Amino acid sequence: MDKKLLYPALCLLVIGMVMIYSSSSVMAQSRFGSQIFFLQRQILWLTLALVAGLVIVKIDLKRCAAYSVPLLFISIVMLALVFLMPARNGSHRWLFLGPLTIQPSEIFKILVIFYLAFSLSQKKRNIEDWKQIVFPYAPLIGIGLILIILEPGLGSALTITLTVLTIFFLAGVRLRHLALLIFPLAGLASFMVFVLGYKRDRVIDYLSAIENPLTGSYQIKQAILTLGAGNLFGVGLGNGRQKLFFLPYPHTDFIFASIGEELGFVGLAAILILFYFIIWRGIKIALYQPDKFGYLLAMGVTLAMMIAVLMNIGVVTSILPTTGIPLPLLSYGGSALLVSVAAIAILLNLSRRKGMIVR
């Protein structure tokens, strides 16, 4: 396996566990009477993720790709079932299965990548014919995206859309054919935001925050204050004050800000370097693949992770509007952790294919 990919991923997992405990202990004690409540649940998910990762590393991904279509259908059914579940914070994004909470949009994201890598690598698929691009893929992927938007989960829908369009481009789809997908999507998004009012407040807060972050939404204000409090070396691990019910979601969407406060700019730089190594190795693994399937799959999971990292950090630093995208391998959340570890496992699997020598 590619150890230059494995070791940075393991480092981020360890850092994530430490920071989840540090940033959530006060909230966990207040709500559930135990400082390690969130840590215990994350350890449970990490155990499941590592077991799944070990299985993924060993299996023949190309042979399993034949089951990508039924698996994608199952994930769409799961997306529909979330509307039968109780709302949480005004959203229907989760399936509640006893002590476990599953977010189907995360599962849908990685299965879409798997499905596209398999389908677009088939020799019978004529990607120069726009009909073979629009009609096979638009209905299936479109239904999933619509369900995610209705949850509402605009950030997840945007991440998946960008990943899908990038995979199409890497597969060799012509730009004018991609325009047939991009322009309607852009028009629909503009209509939903500016006419129907979907997430309009977030856009207005974002525009205000561009001029001055302290005039943006409460979340953005507190994220900026949290980052600024860390200075160069941070206030010390466990000594952060913004987690005392000032910064919303300090262990999930805004864990990057929590790291910045306690570990400072140096800690954030280390996090970014580790992500750089993961993305770099992912791209290298893709470029050395012996076939189109491996290339598209490796690039797909790598770019999906890169987009998630950029979007999360963009929100925390007030570059982007709030999207609710977790930081891969670091943020609290079982489904996101499971999918992030699965993405790393897929890359490790592809790095050990026959004839592969990744330098």
Convert the pLDDT of each residue in 8-53 to its tens digit: 999 999 999 999 999 999 999 998 889 999 999 999 999 999 999 9
Closest among 186, 183, 176, 165 to 129, alpha carbons compared:
176
Torsions phi, psi for 91 (to 5 deg): -125, 150
In angstroms, the CA 69 to CA 116 distance is 10
Task: Please tell me the predicted confidence (pLDDT) of residue 92.
Answer: 81
In angstroms, the CA 350 to CA 359 distance is 14
Instruction: Give the DSSP letter string of 161-207.
Output: HHHHHHHHHHHT--HHHHHHHHHHHHHHHHHHHHTS-TTHHHHHHHH
Residue 101 carries which DSSP code? E
- Residue 241, CA distances (Å) to 30, 167, 183, 223, 334 in order: 15, 42, 45, 12, 26
* 88-102 pLDDT tens trace: 777 788 888 777 788
pTM: predicted TM-score of the whole model, two decimal places: 0.90
Q: Which residues pair with 88 in a beta bridge?
A: 91
Is the Cβ–Cβ distance between 88 and 102 less than 8 Å? no
User: Mapping DSSP to helix (H, G, I), strand (E, B) and coil, where does residue 317 land?
Assistant: coil
Both structure tokens of 102: 């599953």
Q: How many angstroms separate the first and last alpha carbons of the chain?
A: 12
- H or E, element range at 296: helix 292-316
Instruction: Give the DSSP letter string of 27-87.
Output: HHHHHHS-TTHHHHHHHHHHHHHHHHHHHHHHS-HHHHGGGHHHHHHHHHHHHHHGGGSPP
Please report, for the chain, the start and end positions of each structural domain, with discontinuous segments joined by +: 3-351
Contacts of 165 (CB under 8 A, 6+ apart): 178, 181, 182
Low-confidence ranges of the chain (pLDDT < 50): none
Is the Cβ–Cβ distance between 291 and 304 less than 8 Å? no
- Residue 350, CA distances (Å) to 42, 60, 124 in order: 27, 9, 24
